[in-house]
Amino acid sequence: MDGYVAGLRSRPLLLVQLAPGLDVIRARDSGRHKQVFAMWSHLDAKMRAGMTPYGLWLDTSAMTAAESVDEILARRDEAIVAE
């Protein structure tokens, strides 16, 4: 990840990962025209294991879109990956 971040030129570089629980992701996916949960759900554990030290990880399970935006703006300093 460090090599990837070093190659990006935008500064400050911020990362916000919307990370609701798998049960919430499954429920949201079931209501969509194209379901992809079964195909990609294994990536959740891999991303949490390898990327959680980077940026702001936000559990949006119980948040509306507006609440998510408010939380991101309030905690934007936690999203800084590189300055």
- HSE-CB at 42 with a 13 A cutoff on CA atoms is 2
Question: What is the reported pLDDT for 55?
Answer: 92
pLDDT at 1 over 80: no
pLDDT band at 74 (very low <50, low <70, confident <90, very high): very high
Domain coordinates in residue numbering, the chain: 11-82
Question: What is the reported pLDDT for 57?
Answer: 94
Per-residue model confidence as pLDDT tens digits over 22-54? 999 999 999 999 999 989 999 999 988 888 788
What is the average pLDDT across 48-66?
91
Residue-wise DSSP of 42-83: THHHHHHHHHTTSSEEE--TT--HHHHHHHHHHTGGGGEEE-
Question: Cα separations (Å) of 24 from 2, 59, 61?
Answer: 30, 10, 6
pLDDT at 83 over 80: yes
